[in-house]
Amino acid sequence: SPRSSSRPPMSAQEPPRPPPAAAEPPEPEPGGRYEAVVPHWFYCKVTDTRERWVPFSAQDSERLEEAHGAGKDQDDVVVPTSGGRYDVHLRTRQRVAVYWEEEVSEVRRCTWFYKGDKDNKFIPYSESFSEELEEAYMIAVTLDEWKKKLESPNREVIILHNPKLMVHYHPVASSDDWVSTPTEQGRPRTVKRGVENIAVEIPSGEPLQIDHLVFVVHGIGPACDIRFRSIVQCVNDFRNVSLSMLQAHFKKAQEQQQVGRVEFLPVNWHSSLHSTGVDVDLERITLPSINRLRHFINDTILDVFFYNSSTYCQTIVDTVASEMNRLHQLFLQRNPQFKGGVSIAGHSLGSLILFDLLTNQKADPEEDEHRAQGSRTTSSTGSIEEVKEILKKLELSEYCDVFEKEKMDRQALFLCTETNLKEMGIPLGPRMKILHYISSKTEMKVSPGHSEHGAQHGDSTEEGRNCQYRDVGLGQVSANYPQLNYKPTIFFAFGSPIGMFLTVRGVKRIDPNYSLPTCKGFFNIFHPFDPVAYRIEPMIVPELEFEPMLLPHHKGRKRMHLGMTQAAPVPRPGAAAAAPGPTPTPLLPCRTEGGADTHERGPEEQPAGPEEPPAAVKEETPLINVGRLNGGNRIDYVLQEKPIESFNEYLFALQGHLCYWESEDTVLLVLKEIYQTQGITLDQPLPGSQ
């Protein structure tokens, strides 16, 4: 039975009273004391013409009530809600999205509710009618006169039988004018006073402090998951999961107020692309048969082809960069106290767009110089050594001293003209050889529209590398890549085809010395059955066979079916050719949850002999550098599939590509890496990645 609604709730205007000792308050005596109802603010969410009233969080509702109580309804006061992502215009009672386009929602100060017909959810009465009900209730309580009858604006009857039983009667034939006044013969609905008496979960709200900002770029098509939801809805899920992961895994840091939350904002480029008029052009040439399938292809799959067209690629990169810059500027305006960093994340094609943008960012000149030197060696003498190696390859070792005397490093060599070489006293023959070498490398390494940065990283000293280390910008669509207004801390790629696109463009290998000009971190996260995802690490270390890092389960365990299969290694195709014999693959360095170095052990990385202790293996195995793309740390991270998914890989392939938005393991890795840059670690290091 419903709880008595005569419990005196705390008034919005009065100081709080101590709660009554009894669990259930007694029935009001004749002439009982009336307590004003505590209002709660709701907004109306419309999905597929279905209305749903959603409560604001307790803190947002209090803030709205405070503004309302101060009489600010008259001055169109704007109250930020939902972590600052929505503004409520108090006078017009509207909730407006701040960072993206969305239908305006109606806002209501709610005190009285009735149970709806369709889904048994409680619906708030209008504010004016709620005031009438409250007035009738106040009189009934004060005079102890019940059986009060009121008529709603729709000519429906509400009867207040007693504080526990208040009913809304739906008229049988209210549309006919000649029918008598609506009676209690219709279907009765329950009426409740005060939000505390209805079954609704009020959100707890979000921490006010924002530690880091992450922009999330979607992939192909307007829908981002298996339920055909938009990027805004999917990022909302990702944000909600992040809040629960912070509470579960960063409790100590939260208690010490080191941690607030991470804000995730969606970046939409699909609507801008398809508003160029290209859809109308496509419509003209689309065949009428299998209509739905063709429209689906035009709206989704074609985005990949659009990105590979220089015309539309320019539109896409301009939209993504300008939208991220706009959002960043707007966020800083609204959060002037924000001192945190900015990271970016991309799903599917969105990750490729971000990768291409990042490879074309220009670092600060002094930082660029520092990176260029650091990427080759720790000292300038190393750069000179590299020039010596090039001269040795060209059989011009006798001129090493001349280049050393002129302090000629690799970068300077590539800037040399024939006049410079002549001034150094290099004869015509060697001059021609050197110039030919420089021109062949430059042609191979710099593609149209690509930043000069990539040209500074290139082939190492091995003879066979001249056609292997091609710049990551090779084969990129010729476009003018815009610059971002900030330097991203980390780039997260979810279900990403970057590796495949680089390979198709002709980049067979990524130079281990290469790192993104303005972004130090790069994580490639994928589900094992994701048909769109490809690895990155084998492009940096192709001569070795090794598994991606297994993402630890957020509850700190390995899924049971994975633990059982771990003991039975399955050789990957080509593994025999890559690593003949029983010699174990050298282990790769990685960081554990606590940040210390450890090793990822894949199935084929077990010690060759059972009598050899694992410690000895660790000591003797040389560490392998997976390059500077993620600051020397591991790049590829694979999620653990669920037991049901392992029964049929094909059945769960599509779901595998769209699972990241609600994946606690993915969210936890993102949070762990972001907070690690601030020196904040998890409460308990998670096992499972060792």
Judged against a pLDDT cut of 60, whether residue 671 lies above it is answered with yes
Judged against a pLDDT cut of 80, whether residue 516 lies above it is answered with yes
Per-residue pLDDT at 145: 81
Judged against a pLDDT cut of 60, whether residue 1 lies above it is answered with no
Residues 162 and 226 in one domain: no
pLDDT in tens, 126-142: 999 899 888 888 888 88
pLDDT band at 468 (very low <50, low <70, confident <90, very high): low
pLDDT in tens, 601-620: 333 333 333 333 333 333 33
Per-residue pLDDT at 63: 92
Q: Strand locations in 579-666, DSSP E?
A: 588-591, 597-600, 636-638
- Domain membership flag for residue 202: no
Judged against a pLDDT cut of 50, whether residue 170 lies above it is answered with yes
Higher model confidence: residue 562 or residue 65?
65
Q: Where are the alpha helices (DSSP H) in 377-473?
A: 380-393, 400-405, 410-414, 418-423, 428-445
Find residue 332's DSSP bridge partners.
none
pLDDT band at 486 (very low <50, low <70, confident <90, very high): very high
At 266, phi and psi to the nearest 5?
A: -75, 145
Distance (Å) of CA 372 to CA 438, 481, 624:
17, 21, 22
- Domain membership flag for residue 533: yes
Residues 530 and 634 in one domain: yes
A 10 A CB-CB count for 191 gives: 23
Q: Strand locations in 207-280, DSSP E?
A: 210-217, 261-267
Per-residue pLDDT at 452: 39
Average pLDDT over residues 451-467: 40
Find residue 114's DSSP bridge partners.
123, 191
Residue 331's nearest CA partner among 88, 95, 85 is: 85
pLDDT band at 283 (very low <50, low <70, confident <90, very high): confident
Per-residue pLDDT at 26: 43
Which of 410, 425, 441 is the endpoint of a domain? 441
Average pLDDT over residues 501-516: 91
146-150, 151-155, 301-305, 416-420: range with lowest mean pLDDT: 151-155
- Domain membership flag for residue 571: no
Cα pseudo-dihedral 600, 606, 609, 611, rounded to 10: 60
Sorted by sequence, the CB contacts under 8 Å of residue 632 that are 6+ apart come out as 589, 625, 626
Residues 217 and 351 in one domain: yes
Per-residue pLDDT at 223: 66
Q: Is 317 exposed, middle or buried (0-12, 13-18, 19+ CB in 10 A)?
A: buried
Higher model confidence: residue 560 or residue 143?
143
Per-residue pLDDT at 565: 42
Residues 276 and 425 in one domain: no
Average pLDDT over residues 16-29: 43
Judged against a pLDDT cut of 60, whether residue 560 lies above it is answered with no
Residues 497 and 403 in one domain: no
Average pLDDT over residues 339-362: 95
Count structural domains, the chain: 3
Mean pLDDT, the chain, rounded, equals 76
Residues 355 and 397 in one domain: no
pLDDT band at 537 (very low <50, low <70, confident <90, very high): very high
Cα–Cα distance between 161 and 246 in angstroms, integer?
47
Q: Using DSSP, state whether 362 is helix, strand or coil.
A: coil
Per-residue pLDDT at 648: 58
Higher model confidence: residue 8 or residue 46?
46
Share of the chain above pLDDT 70, in %: 71
Judged against a pLDDT cut of 70, whether residue 15 lies above it is answered with no
Question: Which bin fits 361, alpha (ψ -120 to 50), beta or left (φ > 0)?
Answer: beta
Q: How many residues does the chain have?
A: 690
Cα pseudo-dihedral 66, 68, 72, 77, rounded to 10: 80
371-375, 406-410, 479-483, 519-523: range with lowest mean pLDDT: 371-375
Higher model confidence: residue 511 or residue 596?
511
Higher model confidence: residue 461 or residue 61?
61
For 469, which DSSP code?
B
pLDDT in tens, 146-157: 887 887 777 778
344-348, 365-369, 480-484, 520-524: range with lowest mean pLDDT: 365-369
Residues 260 and 339 in one domain: yes
Task: Give the residue numbers marked as catalytic.
Answer: 348
- Domain membership flag for residue 488: yes
Higher model confidence: residue 639 or residue 468?
639
91-95, 190-194, 657-661: range with lowest mean pLDDT: 657-661
Per-residue pLDDT at 561: 45
- Cα angle for residues 71, 72, 74 (degrees, 5° grid): 95
Higher model confidence: residue 582 or residue 439?
439
| CATH classification of the domain holding 422 | 1.10.150.50
Residues 82 and 113 in one domain: yes
Cα–Cα distance between 357 and 484 in angstroms, integer?
9
- Domain membership flag for residue 404: yes
Per-residue pLDDT at 328: 97
Residues 236 and 126 in one domain: no
Judged against a pLDDT cut of 70, whether residue 32 lies above it is answered with no
pLDDT in tens, 209-262: 999 999 999 988 776 656 667 889 899 999 999 999 999 999 989 888 889 999
Average pLDDT over residues 629-651: 76
| Residue appearing with tokens 């767009």 | 353
CA 519 from centroid of its chain's CA atoms: 17
Residue 248's nearest CA partner among 683, 625, 630 is: 683
Sorted by sequence, the CB contacts under 8 Å of residue 565 that are 6+ apart come out as none
Residues 651 and 541 in one domain: yes
Judged against a pLDDT cut of 70, whether residue 564 lies above it is answered with no
Cα four-point dihedral sign 656, 661, 662, 666: positive
| Paired tokens of 673 | 């890496």
- Domain membership flag for residue 666: yes
Residues 404 and 333 in one domain: no
User: Cα Rg for the chain, rounded, in angstroms?
Assistant: 32
| Residue-range definition of the domain harbouring residue 297 | 210-361+481-557+624-678
Residue 678's nearest CA partner among 315, 260, 333, 285 is: 260
Judged against a pLDDT cut of 90, whether residue 462 lies above it is answered with no
Higher model confidence: residue 455 or residue 441?
441
Cα pseudo-dihedral 328, 333, 334, 338, rounded to 10: 70
Per-residue pLDDT at 268: 92
Per-residue pLDDT at 389: 83
Using a cut of 0.75, tell me whether the model's pTM lies above it: no
For 677, which DSSP code?
T
Average pLDDT over residues 568-575: 40
Judged against a pLDDT cut of 90, whether residue 341 lies above it is answered with yes
Sorted by sequence, the CB contacts under 8 Å of residue 97 that are 6+ apart come out as 85, 86
Q: Using DSSP, state whether 55 is helix, strand or coil.
A: strand
- Domain membership flag for residue 368: no
Cα–Cα distance between 124 and 134 in angstroms, integer?
13
A 10 A CB-CB count for 429 gives: 9
Higher model confidence: residue 146 or residue 647?
146
Per-residue pLDDT at 603: 36
pLDDT band at 649 (very low <50, low <70, confident <90, very high): low
Residues 635 and 539 in one domain: yes
| Paired tokens of 319 | 């939209």
| Paired tokens of 683 | 């409460």
Judged against a pLDDT cut of 50, whether residue 80 lies above it is answered with yes
Residue 189's nearest CA partner among 152, 225, 146 is: 152
- Domain membership flag for residue 462: no
Judged against a pLDDT cut of 90, whether residue 160 lies above it is answered with no
pLDDT band at 404 (very low <50, low <70, confident <90, very high): confident
Higher model confidence: residue 183 or residue 139?
139
Higher model confidence: residue 280 or residue 452?
280
